[in-house]
Amino acid sequence: MQMNKIISQKIAAGERISTEEGLWLYRSASLAQLMEWAQTVRRRINGNKVFFNKNVHIEPTNICSNRCLFCSYRRAQNEEGSWALSLDEIAAIAQKYKHSDITEVHIVGGVHPHWGFEVYKNMVAEVHKILPQVHIKAFTAEELWKMHESSNLPLADVLQQLKALGLQSIPGGGAEVLQDAVRAKICPEKINSAAWLQVHQTAHNLGLSSNATMLYGHVESYEDRMVHLGLLRDLQDHTRGFNAFIPLKYRKLHNDLSAVGEVSTAEDCRNMAVCRLFLDNIPHLKAYWPMFGKSLVDNMLHYGADDLDGTIDAGTQIYSMAGAEDTKPTMTVQELQAICRRNRFELTERDSLYKTVKKE
Ligand code: V47
């Protein structure tokens, strides 16, 4: 039987796509066919809903001991453009949202060479004290691994202590491509694939859910992407701890990988659809608008994405520093509503665990 027919039947029956079939989707499926299949799967899992939350990002520092080639954000200590927020400055940001309706604070930054576990614990405790009702999603596997190494505590203890102070979930950053040969080229100082997975598995075992990302469109091959997706799907079969998967398109401005350029919109659509079809056990796929740009997210919704992340409120600079269109990214609920209306989707406010936020 032709591959097209085999995959069509599997999707209709809700059966799992193999790695070989995933590779065929990347290489040979038409965009029209991918869109149709991705829509079938997204409707089965998420109906006509497009989720968002009201969130704010806090980026405590861009000083980082890693020198990843794709990063436009990282600075050395004392370099022009570097920042490291004090606990008081972080508290002041949290205070601004005390009487707002945000439901999540997302905290991610560089791996500061001189910050020990205490600094991170104080951050979580302080934000939780000021915003006790707000979900704290904080620290990439990279930051958590460095806490584990610098404190000499087992990873589970690090996570357990943060959880006791108010941490509720882990964002998906630092995954890049979970293939060590690719990591050696683009982020040689980062933890390896096994360590990234170990952090998430440990978190899931402690009842902390998490997200997973994939940085695509640079030096990796389709085979590398399939290895990455396979590792995530296998872990999810065991733990069920991933809420969302977020494909992150490599953006080329002001970093050391610029020469490889950026992939096309057609490739973004293809990638989103293949991820939706292959990751049958991860419920949500985010079209992360600060990275794609507000003009591209419409497309992504038709290729399997069901989540537009959040309003963010001017809190992230990772993408603007790498060339994404908005310099101080923020999205109003009205803008999100307009995207959904013109694409005939139903906008739904969610909390960090994807429960619908009820209006009073
Ligand atoms: O790991 C860095 C990526 C990630 C570039 O879990 C770049 O809800 C493109 O993980 N071009 C951090 N991407 C951000 C992240 C994230 C964002 C939003 C929501 C969630 C979530 C997680 O940003 C890094 C890296 O893969 N990144 N530089 C660049 N030039």
Mean pLDDT of 301-318: 83
* Confidence band of 310 (pLDDT split at 50, 70, 90): confident
Nearest to 117 by CA among 145, 83, 97, 138: 145
151 three-class SS: helix
pTM above 0.75, yes or no: yes
Lowest mean pLDDT among 53-57, 133-137, 180-184, 281-285: 53-57
The side-by-side arrangement of strands in the sheet containing 49-53 is 307-310, 49-53, 346-349
User: What tens digit of pLDDT does each residue of 176-220 get?
Assistant: 999 999 999 999 999 999 999 999 999 999 999 999 999 999 999
172 lines ligand 1 (CB under 6 A): yes
169 three-class SS: strand
Write out the two tokens for 239: 């733990």
Mean pLDDT of 309-316: 74
In whole angstroms, give the CA distance from residue 266 to residue 157.
44
Taking the CA of residue 215 as reference, the ligand 1 atom at the shortest distance is: 26
Q: Is the pLDDT of residue 358 over 80?
A: no
Query: 356 has which bridge partners?
Result: 350
From ligand 1's centre to the CA of 168, what distance in Å?
19
Mean pLDDT of 86-97: 97
CA distances from 39 to 51, 64, 95, 259, 345 (A): 16, 40, 41, 34, 12
Q: What is the DSSP letter of 134?
A: S
176 lines ligand 1 (CB under 6 A): yes
What share of the chain in percent tops pLDDT 70? 95
Direct distance between the N- and C-terminal alpha carbons of the chain, in angstroms, rounded to an integer: 54
Lowest mean pLDDT among 83-87, 178-182, 296-300: 296-300
Write out the two tokens for 18: 């193999």
In whole angstroms, give the CA distance from residue 230 to residue 309.
24
User: What tens digit of pLDDT does each residue of 162-172 get?
Assistant: 999 999 999 99
* Confidence band of 311 (pLDDT split at 50, 70, 90): confident
Residue with the two structure tokens 């997200």? 211
288 lines ligand 1 (CB under 6 A): yes
- Going by alpha carbons, the residue nearest to atom 5 of ligand 1 is 71
Residue with the two structure tokens 């989540």? 307
Q: Is the pLDDT of residue 318 over 80?
A: no
Taking the CA of residue 257 as reference, the ligand 1 atom at the shortest distance is: 30
* Confidence band of 289 (pLDDT split at 50, 70, 90): confident
In whole angstroms, give the CA distance from residue 245 to residue 172.
8
Residue of 213, 291, 306, 326 to mutate, ligand 1, most atoms within 8 A of C-beta: 213
Residue 330 has what pLDDT? Answer: 80
* Confidence band of 252 (pLDDT split at 50, 70, 90): very high
Write out the two tokens for 211: 């997200």
* Confidence band of 293 (pLDDT split at 50, 70, 90): confident
Kindly report the average pLDDT of the chain as a whole number: 95
Residue 227 has what pLDDT? Answer: 98
Residue 25 has what pLDDT? Answer: 98
Residue 294 has what pLDDT? Answer: 81
Q: Is the pLDDT of residue 327 over 60?
A: no
| DSSP H stretches of helix in the chain | 3-13, 19-28, 31-46, 87-96, 117-130, 141-151, 155-165, 180-186, 193-205, 222-239, 265-278, 289-292, 297-302, 333-342
72 lines ligand 1 (CB under 6 A): yes
From ligand 1's centre to the CA of 12, what distance in Å?
33
Residue 326 has what pLDDT? Answer: 59
* Confidence band of 359 (pLDDT split at 50, 70, 90): low
Query: CB of 307 within 8 A of CB of 339?
Result: no
Q: Is the pLDDT of residue 155 over 70?
A: yes
238 three-class SS: helix
From ligand 1's centre to the CA of 175, what distance in Å?
9
